[in-house]
Amino acid sequence: MRALLKTATAALALIACPVSAQDFTITNATVGTGDGSEPIEGASVTVRGGKVVAVGAGAAPTSGTVIDGTGKWVTPGIVVAVTDLGLYDVGAVSNSNDKGAGGSRFAAAIDVAPAINPSSQHIKVSRAAGITRALVTPNHGPSIFAGQGALIDLGDDPDAVQQARAFQLVDLGETGARIAGGSRSAVYVELGNALKEARDFANGRRKADDALLTRVDAEALAPVVTGKQQLYVEVERAADIRQVLSFKRSNPRLKLVLVGASEGWLVASDIARAGVPVIADALDDLPSSFEQLAATQSNVGRMHAAGVKVAIGRLAGSTDGHPRSAAQFAGNLVALNNVPGAKGLSWGQALATITSRPAEIAGHGGKFGVIAPGATADIVLWDGDPLEVSTAPTRVFIDGVEQPLDSHQSELAKRYRDLDESDLPKAYDW
């Protein structure tokens, strides 16, 4: 009996203890550090205790397991900004879909963190594509405020949420105008009133009888008006962007991040002057709405050239917003340099838009999204140039822990790799 109890106790201890970070050194690889610089050939990366301790060309101090990176590329893990990753299993099945809460009495108070499912197949598929962290946002309901987003990691463990209530999301474009009553004029009245009521709450004033916000929504917006929580603003056309920047000038404590900004290139100097970062749809080049008439694939390149800090996010378009397309989107910005009259990014700059820039915008610059001494060891080993569509990760580490790359998709691929009908499940035995 004692032996049985001892065995059971040991098993429970293994379940309770998180997997330890691995010490390893990758040698002789092509390394993209994610900081905007160009890749380093014949370089090494050393990881110890879940942190990067050394990176550079030539020999490096080794630690733990030595991984031969000959012919391989190494980058930081991809950080996807403004995504619904982990909030649904089957989008068309409402019971498995927590992306939006259109029937809720609350808006700004909605927090996506409790709804994140670390076991979602979408997380597994994205992890296998080199995604290691994500900024997850809710969808809009009946309010211009969608709610509070979360920063998550995609590690194979139950603790996905790294930072709950990381930012608030509001729509001040066409969608926001429709929600507010049909006009952009109403959007800013709605926004101004909400921030006033939140400010009253933060200052301890009694809730007015005619207040429009619920108490919990006012409480949720209090960190926004005090500058403790970022406000992600969905906005597309140049005129709307100017209005948002003007609103910031009269509310200087707001920490704004523009999301979308399809016509950002037209007002890039204004955005840069205001010091407001942008999370842009990389490949918007056709006007899917009247607020995107000046959309161009050169948008990101032109804003970057003007000094705007730009990350790629939302991943709208033909990929249906799937995070695993992030590297492809970044690669297209590099290829854009070959188009006469277009403005793209260098390889290093493009990699930064899906690694270090989203991390910096989220307030975690230098902590992840970059391979540098002291940074978290989110490391991806690729079988070729990661910005080429035919390339895939061979090994993924999050916090220095190697991650499984299997998913429902990969298991189905194994099952149906050949046409031997004896492998088919009974459901297909006609």
pLDDT 10s digits, 200-242: 888 888 777 778 888 999 999 999 999 999 999 999 999 999 9
Predicted local distance difference test score (pLDDT) of residue 14: 37
CATH, residue 385: 2.30.40.10
Please state the domain count of the chain. 2
Which run of H or of E encompasses 311?
A: strand 310-312
Q: Please work out, in degrees rounded to the nearest 5, the angle formed at the alpha carbon of residue 79 by the alpha carbons of 73 and 83.
A: 140
Are 183 and 327 contained in the same domain?
Answer: yes
φ and ψ at residue 423, rounded to 5 degrees: -85, -10
Element housing 189 (H / E): helix 184-202
Same domain, 32 and 116: no
* CB 69 within 8 Å of CB 404: no
Q: Are residues 252 and 380 in the same domain?
A: no
Residue 139 or residue 239, greater confidence: 239
Same domain, 295 and 152: yes
Q: Determine how many CB atoms are found less than 10 A away from the CB of residue 97.
A: 16
Q: How, if at all, do strands 379-382 and 393-398 pair?
A: antiparallel
The DSSP bridge pattern shows strands 379-382 and 73-76 to be antiparallel
Domain boundary among the residues 337, 368, 399 is at: 368
The string over 232-247, giving b where at least 16 C-beta atoms fall within 10 Å of a residue's C-beta and e elsewhere, is bbbbbbbebbebbbeb
Across the range 242-259, mean pLDDT stands at 94
Taking residue 212's Cβ as centre, other Cβ atoms within 10 Å add up to 11
**Binning pLDDT at 50, 70 and 90, where does residue 426 land?**
low
If asked whether residues 214 and 340 sit together in one domain, one would say yes
Tokens of 177: 């105008």
Residue 186, pLDDT above cutoff 60 = yes
Q: Which residues, at least 6 apart from 413, have a Cβ–Cβ distance to it below 8 Å?
A: none
| CB-based burial, 54-93: b 16+ in 10 Å, e otherwise | bbeeeebeebeeebebeebbbbbbbbbbbbbbbbbeeeee
Residues of 288-298 as b/e, b for ≥16 C-beta within 10 angstroms? Answer: eeebbeebbbb
330, 346, 368 — which closes off a domain?
368
Give me the pLDDT at residue 373, please. Answer: 96
**88, pLDDT greater than 90:** no
Same domain, 375 and 364: no
Q: Domain range spanning residue 307?
A: 78-368
Q: Are residues 39 and 99 in the same domain?
A: no
Q: What's the average model confidence in pLDDT over 128-141?
A: 93
Q: Which residues pair with 340 in a beta bridge?
A: none
Domain boundary (333, 368, 403) is at 368
Angstrom distance (rounded) from CA 262 to CA 264:
6
Are both 199 and 121 inside the same structural domain? yes
Q: What percent of the chain has pLDDT over 70?
A: 91
HSE-CB for 91 with a 13 A CA cutoff: 7
pLDDT tens per residue, range 319-347 = 456 788 999 999 999 999 999 999 999 99
Q: What is the pLDDT of residues 39-59, one digit of tens each?
A: 999 999 999 999 999 999 977
d(CA 314, CA 279): 8
Co-location of 70 and 142 in the same domain: no
Co-location of 72 and 172 in the same domain: no
Report how far Cα 339 is from the mean position of its chain's Cα atoms. 28
Model-level pTM greater than 0.75? yes
What does DSSP say about strands 256-260 and 65-68: parallel, antiparallel, or unpaired? unpaired
At 154, which CATH number? 3.20.20.140
- Let me know whether 8 and 121 are in one domain: no
Specify whether 94 is located in the same domain as 146: yes
